[in-house]
Structure 1
Amino acid sequence: MSDYKKKQMYSYLIVLSICSTVGLQCWQTLFDNFSVKVVGLDGYHIGVLQSVREIPGFLALLVTYVILIIKEHRLSALSIIILGAGIFATGLLPSFYGLILTTMVMSFGFHYYETTNKSLTLQYFDELTSPLAFSAQRSYAAAASVVVGIIIFFIAPLLSYKTMYIIFGGLIGACGVWAFTKNPEEKNIIPQKKHLVLKKRYWLYYFLTFMAGARRQIFMAFAIFLLVKKFGFSVQDITLLFLLNNGINFFINPSIGKFIVKYGERKLLSIEYFFLIGVFFSYAFVDSKLIVGVLYVFDNIFFNFSTAINTYFQKIANPRDIAASAAVGFTINHIAAVVLPVIGGLLWMVDYKIPFLAGAFLSFISLCFVQLIKTEQRAL
């Protein structure tokens, strides 16, 4: 089974996953402080920007048609180039409408890479090795993010936001150009359908994907904003949290992959949603800076468990449906993500607790539906 690490696609996706994760971390670490302290945005503006950021994810189904004219692995590399370009330009346009433009560009790169990454991983690795491949990508990306987090921590007091966005965006774009020149393709891969695939028997996967998108968006749009707005976390504070998160993720991700192989997706996702109920509920009522920081770390750790939704789909899907279904799944994931931040931003203005209580409720619903997962486990 260790032969899966010898595939060229294994190292190719690890490199691009590092770029994708590090790019999002750089953008996110700087964004809330940049938007509040430099651009002067409030909760409503943040909600609008987060909704804009998810529009490309909503349009991920177009990947099915883009790969008609460009090979899927090349689209992955091109997406990283676009991600780098969006980050590069962020500091150059310090206004609300400038952020709308750069956020959209950055987001197209990030979401189209994530769509193709999921598709390629499920195509090139089987049921026993895909959880391990996904976990390896997350683990290496977490390790790289630790290094980048340390760099941001030390250069943030010395450099402007503009300079930091230019440096990190340029480096990520350069890595994308390098990857575009490589060819990790294998000839024996099952051909993929070149049209949209939406099947009734995949309904549970679609539902869990939709709910995961809603949960994720509450976290992405409002958890960090809560830390900055209510508890006064600085760029260095947020960076330290990212360092801690990624340090933990580096060590636990390999275990998550092995857990899925040995015990199955239902048990892992049940653990995730059970604890998320408490995490979201606590966000709404905690007044301690230390405790809310701990909650954020746990919240971030549970993101890694979402791999189980993808590996569950692999077990129930026709192998020819994977690429098209990955695109459809990403679109479904982002239906709630496009709408929730704006609604959540308005509700935040009424009471900041409301978005987090909604997150607790959504986690409870997800916990109930996860129990419907029925797959056979094979020994590791």
Structure 2
Amino acid sequence: MEKIFKSRVALLYIMSISMVFSFSAWMSLLNNFVIEAASFDGSQIGILQSLREIPGFLAFTVVLVIIFVAQQRLAYISMMMLGVGVLLTGFYPSALGLYITTVIMSIGFHYLETLNQSLALQWLSKEKAPIILGKITAAKSFTSLVVFVLIFIMMKFYSVEYKYVYAFFGGITLIVGIISWMAFEHFKDDVVQEKKITLKKEYWLFYVLTFFAGARRQIFIVFAGFLLVEKFGVDVHNMVALLFINSVLNMYFAPKIGRFIVKFGERNTLRFEYLGLMLVFVSYAFVENLYVAYFLFVIDHILFSMAIALKTYFQKIADPKDIASASAVSFTINHIAAVFLPALLGIVWLYSTSLVFIIGAAIALMSFSLSFLIPRHPEQGFETTLKVF
């Protein structure tokens, strides 16, 4: 047990699992809870979701906070904030109450995810990072499965109220955060991190690919599931079953994707991801068969797991002292699309559902084209094959 508390990798697992444990519960219950307990209408859920994304957009402020609080300690505080936000959610079933608890939860979640990525890229060697990140992704998928099963048992067989379900999952994350703070060794930074917000021209390709990744993520999250429900009438049980299948497949494929990156490199992995996503989005635009739509939804989810390659590409090209700052900035860039794209494409959806996915395919095509600028062996000083600046 003592060895666990001296292991950086163990801490990365614990941070990732605790984050998914409470956030998955929050997300899976949200729509039912706000309607049944808080009588939300469409505008209120829209406001809540916008509030949820704002801390992601402001993730760059992590850099300002680590001037005063060490990254590892800030990760514990973020874990506890996430836990508190989820724990309190069920006790305040009103618009104002849910807005406040959502912001608390979201600050904790987005700070923790940003710090988790930053610490992983600092602590893991470049050789082992893809494999360990793949295993962590698999662990997160397994955690989601556990959450779905626990919620089903608690609410189906024991009729546990929403507030106690939220309190259970949020409380566990809160407790894990406290125990981690007290029990884990405080690991010294191998390289002192820059504590200012900067956009470095050397990382321009990483920034652009990160922005496009955020845009594609929004199209998948907002519209892929909506297509299944609106066009094919898929009910909530089948949607949960699909998410369950995605989690199982991620557990299997994520570690293999890590090994694939080690063997074939980031450039080839990202090309494969972007080409696959381009084909999936075009297929979404014209799909008429329910089972084909199911298949596309699952493949879509697996392909997004290959985004590990974008993180390890950055790890290889980054100056070690820039990792914390650039991770925070990239997280903000990834969320820029979340601010405007769902609303914009929601209007497009009213006129043509196919056009939304054609736009997604075009974004994937641009990413695919840019992937040819990634060197076969990227490293600091050789970030791209094209010196634009």
Question: Is TM (by shorter chain) over 0.5?
Answer: yes
Please name the residue that 1:328 is paired with. Answer: 329
- The 2-side partners of 1:40 and 1:364 are apart by 42
Identical columns (%)? 43
- TM (norm. structure 1) is 0.88
Q: Within the alignment, does 1:293 sit opposite 2:290 as a pair?
A: no
Deviates more, 1:280-289 or 1:300-309: 280-289
Match of 2:345? 344
Measured at CA, do residues 277 and 191 of structure 1 come closer, stay the same or move farther in structure 2, by a change above 3 Å?
same
- Find the aligned partners of 1:273 and 1:197 in 2 and give their Cα distance: 28
Structure with higher RCO (Cα < 8 A, 6+ apart)? 1
Would you say the 8 A contact 1:49–1:100 is kept in 2? yes
Mapped contact 1:48–1:341 kept (Cα < 8 A):
no
Q: Residue in 1 aligned with 2:312?
A: 311
Contact 2:193–2:322 at 8 Å: present in 1 too? yes
Contact 1:245 1:301 in 2 (8 A): yes
For residues 42 and 325 of structure 1, the distance between their equivalents in structure 2, rounded to whole angstroms, comes to 38
Name the CA distance, whole Å, in 2 between partners of 1:330 and 1:376: 24
Q: Which runs of 5+ in 2 are unaligned?
A: 380-389
State the match for 1:19 in structure 2: 18
Q: Which residue of 2 aligns with 1:57?
A: 56
Letter in 1 for 2:132: A
Aligned to 1:189: 190
The one-letter amino acid of 1:269's match is L
Q: Measure the CA separation in 2 of the matches of 1:348 and 1:94.
A: 31
Please name the residue that 2:239 is paired with.
238
Paired residues for 1:51-130 under 5 Å? 51-130=50-129
CA distance in 2, matches of 1:346, 1:131: 39
CA shift in 2, pair 1:175/1:187, >3 Å: closer
**Shift in Å at residue 76 of structure 1?**
1.3
Normalising by the residue count of structure 2, what TM-score does the alignment of the two structures yield?
0.87
Q: By how many angstroms is 1:135 displaced?
A: 1.4
C-alpha contact (below 8 Å) 2:5/2:183 kept by paired residues: no
Change over 3 Å in CA distance of 1:169–1:231 after alignment to 2: farther
The answer to whether the Cα contact below 8 Å between 1:47 and 1:341 also exists between their aligned partners in 2 is: no
Whole-Å separation in 2 of the counterparts to 1:110 and 1:252: 25
Task: Please identify, of 185-194 and 250-259, the stretch whose mean Cα deviation from structure 2 is larger.
Answer: 185-194
CA–CA separation in structure 2 for the residues paired with 1:163 and 1:234 = 26
- Read off the aligned partner of 1:88 and give its amino acid letter: L
Q: 1:34 to 1:145 in 2, by over 3 A?
A: same
Deviations 1:170-227 (A, max 9, x none): 2222222222223344346111111123111110000011111111122223333444
Alpha-carbon displacement from aligned partner over 1:295-326 (angstroms, at most 9, x marks no partner): 22222212211111111011111111111111
Q: What do residues 126-177 of structure 1 show as CA deviations (whole Å, max 9, x unaligned)?
A: 2101112211211212222222222223334334444322322222222222
Q: 1:237 to 1:38 in 2, by over 3 A?
A: farther
Contact 1:264 1:377 in 2 (8 A): no
Distance in 2 of aligned mates of 1:188 and 1:321: 13
**Cα distance, 1:289 vs. partner?**
4.2
Q: 1:276 to 1:46 in 2, by over 3 A?
A: farther
Task: Look at both structures and tell me which one has the larger radius of gyration over its CA atoms.
Answer: 2
